[in-house]
């Protein structure tokens, strides 16, 4: 995807109510966005289908919805208070901050135990923004956001917003183990907010400061971890192709090098997608060993273990983690589905989103807006479909314009009520991608759409 296309997507997102910059009336708020009416529906559809595939269709998964605020010790135990850092350089002239490891010619390495950055190669000292001189003073910049709890000034406790959503799955391991009758291997799924003080600006939804992660933490015995890790890698890669509709040639695997890999992980791979001109991370899949439960156990004084009734062994479960970003999946869907073509010498823009994910499934039109009998019949069809699907009504402008409006927001089908409808109770149903129309009976519409939604 070129930068030009990215600009078109950003513009469409704003114009058609998918994504708005947060607090825009105050000039916006860097790297923070709201989902608008259309975007909220697309995001909801992504969440719903993830829960359906990961929780509903499996027998070994439990869903939780954890709080954003957690005991601050949890973030000490996880290492985030020390090691969740980026190396930062600030330009003394324009005051812009940059990640030193992303500046031209710079090479840095993070010590995973201490969180400190070692400069291997010092690159350009020219500010990319104002061309001023940079001072090679690399500062540790912690990505965790903080707030405070308590009402009396001076007695407030500093707490953290979740830097990664998964942490309360580890904290809830004990109550889930004790209340749900679980048998290892099993997993816990959660879609939750994460907050990070990201320095890099201007990558639209790809790098935001408030986002949602769709996390799977799969608890297993150490012996099974390697096999299950490979199974989850397959499941997650195929999900992006089969369920989300991304093309295989824009997806790839990238293994973390030993320097990049977090020190306790036995293996780590990213699923990458070609959003712009480059492949970038969409989801991370980690074999996290028993580190998380051991650490949280150590800091809380509780033993987070599991007794296997078959082998009669007691052990701390290993964890396979699959962590994907909702905003990145959303952006990938738009990047993949944005299409332009020439129709009758005019540009047609359409979003070729999988119908199951499209914000609206159907738009209902009366052929013309000034004939009462057509409007009345179209309203009947509208009210018939409304309890079943997210649908839209449109009677403004000519049919061609209405089709274009729906194409641009990815509505897979448009139904038109015309004069023939009044005679034989049939309607035209027009396909977004092929623009072909067929006539079907009103009483068949619901079945027809359900059938096509499952394709």
> Where on the chain is the footprint of ligand GAP (CB under 6 A)?
164, 166, 196, 198, 207-208, 211, 213, 281-284, 321, 323-325, 327-328
d(CA 121, CA 109): 10
d(CA 250, CA 111): 32
Residue among 282 and 304 whose Cβ is closer to ligand GAP: 282
Residue among 61 and 368 whose Cβ is closer to ligand GAP: 61
Q: Which residue has the tokens 């005679």?
A: 423
CA separation, residue 135 to residues 98, 108, 132, 362 (Å): 12, 16, 10, 57
Nearby residues of 77 by Cβ (< 8 Å), 6 or more positions away: 295, 296, 298, 299, 300
d(CA 136, CA 103): 11
Least CB distance to ligand GAP at residue 245 (A): 17
Q: Is 15 helix (H, G, I), strand (E, B) or coil?
A: helix
Least CB distance to ligand GAP at residue 418 (A): 46
Least CB distance to ligand GAP at residue 455 (A): 27
d(CA 74, CA 167): 8
Residue among 19 and 134 whose Cβ is closer to ligand GAP: 19
Residue among 80 and 432 whose Cβ is closer to ligand GAP: 80
Strand order in the sheet with 426-431: 391-393, 362-366, 413-417, 426-431, 437-441
DSSP 69: B
Q: Are strands 362-366 and 391-393 parallel, antiparallel or unpaired?
A: parallel
d(CA 62, CA 177): 11
Q: Is 389 helix (H, G, I), strand (E, B) or coil?
A: coil
Q: String of b and e for 192-220 (b: at least 16 CB within 10 Å)?
A: bebbbbbbeeeebbbbbbbbbbbbbbbbb
* Residue nearest ligand GAP (C-beta atom): 325
Peptide bond into 185 cis (omega under 30): yes
d(CA 441, CA 427): 6
22 - beta bridge partners?
A: none
H-helix segments, 301-371:
326-337
Nearby residues of 70 by Cβ (< 8 Å), 6 or more positions away: 159, 160, 162, 167, 168, 171
Residue among 323 and 416 whose Cβ is closer to ligand GAP: 323
Q: Is 325 helix (H, G, I), strand (E, B) or coil?
A: strand
Q: Nearest Cα to 416, choosing from 445, 387, 390, 453?
A: 445
CB atoms within 10 A of CB 283: 23
């Amino acid at each position: 995807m070129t930068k030009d296309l990215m600009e078109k997507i950003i513009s469409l997102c704003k114009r058609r109510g998918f994504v708005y910059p947060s607090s825009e009336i105050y000039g916006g708020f860097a790297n923070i966005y709201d989902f608008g009416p259309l975007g909220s529906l697309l995001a909801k559809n992504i969440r719903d289908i993830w829960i359906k595939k990961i929780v509903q269709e499996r027998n070994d998964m439990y869903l939780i919805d954890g709080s954003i605020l957690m005991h601050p010790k949890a973030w000490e135990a996880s290492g985030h208070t020390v090691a969740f850092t980026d190396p930062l350089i600030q330009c003394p002239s324009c005051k812009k901050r940059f990640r030193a490891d992303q500046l031209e010619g710079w090479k840095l390495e993070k010590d995973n135990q201490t969180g400190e950055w070692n400069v291997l190669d010092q690159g350009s000292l020219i500010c990319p923004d104002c061309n001023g001189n940079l001072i090679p003073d690399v500062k540790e910049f912690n990505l965790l956001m903080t707030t405070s709890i308590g009402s009396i000034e001076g007695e407030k406790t500093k707490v953290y917003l979740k830097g990664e959503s998964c942490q309360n799955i580890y904290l809830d391991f004990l109550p889930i183990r004790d209340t749900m009758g679980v048998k290892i291997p099993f997993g816990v799924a959660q879609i939750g907010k994460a907050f990070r003080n990201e320095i890099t600006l201007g990558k639209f939804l790809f790098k935001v400061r408030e986002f949602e992660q769709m996390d799977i933490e799969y608890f297993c015995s150490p012996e099974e971890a390697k096999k299950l890790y490979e199974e989850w890698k397959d499941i997650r890669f195929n999900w992006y192709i089969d369920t989300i509709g991304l093309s295989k040639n824009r997806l790839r695997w990238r293994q973390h090098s030993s320097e990049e890999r977090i020190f306790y992980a036995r293996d780590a791979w990213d699923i990458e997608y070609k959003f712009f001109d480059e492949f970038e991370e969409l989801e991370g899949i980690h074999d996290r060993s028993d580190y998380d439960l051991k650490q949280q156990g150590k800091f809380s004084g509780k033993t987070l273990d599991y007794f296997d009734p078959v082998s009669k062994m007691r052990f701390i479960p290993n964890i396979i983690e699959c962590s994907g970003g909702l905003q990145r999946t959303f952006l990938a869907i738009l990047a993949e589905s944005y299409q332009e073509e020439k129709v009758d010498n005019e540009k047609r823009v359409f979003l070729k989103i999988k119908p199951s994910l499209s914000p609206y499934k159907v738009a209902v039109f009366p052929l013309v807006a000034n004939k009462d009998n057509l409007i009345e019949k179209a309203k009947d069809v509208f009210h018939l479909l409304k309890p079943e699907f997210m649908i839209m009504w449109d009677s403004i402008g000519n049919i061609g314009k209405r089709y274009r409006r729906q194409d641009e927001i990815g509505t897979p089908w448009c139904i038109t009520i015309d004069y023939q409808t009044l005679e034989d109770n049939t309607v035209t149903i027009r396909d977004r991608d092929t623009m072909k129309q067929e006539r079907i009976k009103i009483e068949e519409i619901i079945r027809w759409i359900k059938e096509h939604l499952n394709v």
